[in-house]
Amino acid sequence: MNEQYVLDLQEIDETQVAVVGGKGAHLGGLSRIEGIHVPGGFCVTTGAFRRIMADAPSLGERLDQLSRLNPDDREAIRTLSGQIRRTIEATAIPDELAAAITHALARSGERAAYAVRSSATAEDLPTASFAGQQDTYLNVVGPTAVLQHVSRCWASLFTERAVTYRQRNGIDHRTVHMAVVVQHMVFPQAAGILFTADPVTGNRKVATVDAGFGLGEALVSGLVNPDVFKVRDGEVIAKTIAAKQRAVLALPAGGTQQVAIDSQRQEQPALTDAQVLRLVQLGRRIEAHFGRPQDIEWCLVDDGFQIVQSRPITTLFPVPEADDQDNHIYVSVGHQQMMTDAMKPLGFSMWQLTAMVAMYEA
């Protein structure tokens, strides 16, 4: 076949967003960082998604209808996006594409458990995260189930919330394609999120760790309040230990379930201070690699950390680069002048030439 439908994560880097989507590209980049452990696996490329879309001619007309809808017309979006998802899931996967996926599974371990994860081309970008817009399926066992969940991931490009998000951000549905990451499932004692900059205050020197027992799904879904640790200069400067009453665990035959945490264990920290500091060190290494603060999903497995996702933190206010460790105060001249859009290069150079004080670019 001319098109490569499957790529191993080790073959992927951050430049291949168009081929493997944002999540796949970031995972490929992560797997190349020394000392960072990423669960092994492969990516079903956007070429496979385009092949499926081409095999269902009715989708073109429905995409045209979708693009004409008002983002506030939730009922029409719900109806049409539901029709598109059902059509994609009902479209048979061509033999050569199914063979490429099952061959990759045979190399990785056919009866192993996998996480099957959506990776759209408009996802985990510096300007828009699209976090939670598409679907992830955990603890998927067997080739038939993996193929079924790959189809579900393709279809999840057209969830109601993903469609509405693209409509509101002026993104053409036809320009966004879906890849699918298939990774070995990890069964962690604890999992959570690491922000290498404080997402509330914007402080780049303070890292925040959210942690809970079991799979990270419990935190992401809001099932439990996490333990929260704040770290600065290699020291835990604040922590809040939550009563974690429930956790999400993997089932031996596939799938996941919610379980109650023993009452004596609920208020025990999910991580020790030493583990938190080690995790933040890994986060700083990842941040240095990508060149900007990161929102990192992690799992603790046998006292070792596995990184399962990293994306830019898109909510931080931009600050100029400083070549020292001193404190600085910056005032946004653009906002003072009610110019909330980014300045064009000509306008910015005029400000720099004519301003009475130094002007820095954020």
Query: Which CATH number covers residue 207?
Result: 3.30.470.20
Output 66-74 pairs: Cβ under 8 A, ≥24 positions apart: 66/158, 66/163, 66/173, 67/172, 67/173, 67/174, 69/167, 71/164, 71/167, 71/168, 74/160, 74/164
* 40 is a domain residue: yes
The reply to whether 176 and 205 lie within a common domain is no
The reply to whether 206 and 172 lie within a common domain is no
* Range list of H helices, 68-127: 74-90, 95-108
The reply to whether 225 and 345 lie within a common domain is no
Report the predicted TM-score, pTM, of the whole model to 2 decimal places. 0.81
- Cβ-based neighbours of 203, under 8 Å, separated by 6 or more: 197
User: Per-residue confidence of the chain (362 residues) as pLDDT tens digits?
Assistant: 446 899 999 999 888 999 999 899 999 999 999 999 999 999 999 999 999 988 887 888 888 888 888 888 889 989 998 999 999 999 999 999 999 999 999 988 878 899 999 998 875 445 444 544 567 898 999 999 999 999 999 999 999 888 888 888 888 888 889 999 999 999 999 999 999 999 888 889 999 999 999 888 878 777 888 999 999 999 999 999 988 888 888 887 778 888 888 888 888 999 999 999 999 999 999 999 998 999 999 999 998 999 999 988 888 877 887 788 788 888 887 778 787 787 788 888 888 888 888 777 77
Cβ density class 223-259: b for 16+ within 10 Å, e for less:
bbebbebbbeeeebeebeebebebbbbbeeebebeee
The reply to whether 23 and 130 lie within a common domain is yes
The reply to whether 34 and 91 lie within a common domain is yes
Closest CA to 274 of 234, 321, 308: 234
* Separation between Cα atoms, residue 246 and residue 259, nearest integer Å: 6
Structural domain of 298 = 190-312
Last residue of a domain, one of 155, 184, 213: 184
The reply to whether 207 and 164 lie within a common domain is no
- For residue 88, give the CATH number of its domain: 3.30.1490.20
Closest CA to 94 of 56, 60, 51, 151: 51
The reply to whether 242 and 158 lie within a common domain is no
Closest CA to 180 of 68, 109, 101: 101
The reply to whether 118 and 87 lie within a common domain is yes
The reply to whether 237 and 155 lie within a common domain is no
* 93 is a domain residue: yes
Copy the structure tokens of residue 278. Answer: 């080690």
Instruction: Return the pLDDT at 267.
Output: 87
* 135 is a domain residue: yes
* 58 is a domain residue: yes
* 1 is a domain residue: no
Domain count, the chain: 3
Handedness of CA 93, 99, 100, 102 (dihedral sign): positive
Instruction: Return the pLDDT at 1.
Output: 43
- Sort strands 136-141 and 41-44 into parallel, antiparallel or unpaired: unpaired
The reply to whether 17 and 133 lie within a common domain is yes
The reply to whether 112 and 239 lie within a common domain is no
Exposed, middle or buried, 2 (CB in 10 Å: 0-12/13-18/19+)? exposed
* 62 is a domain residue: yes
* 281 is a domain residue: yes
Cβ density class 187-204: b for 16+ within 10 Å, e for less:
ebebbbbbbbbbbeeeee
The reply to whether 248 and 361 lie within a common domain is no
* 255 is a domain residue: yes
CA angle 100, 101, 102 (to 5 degrees): 95
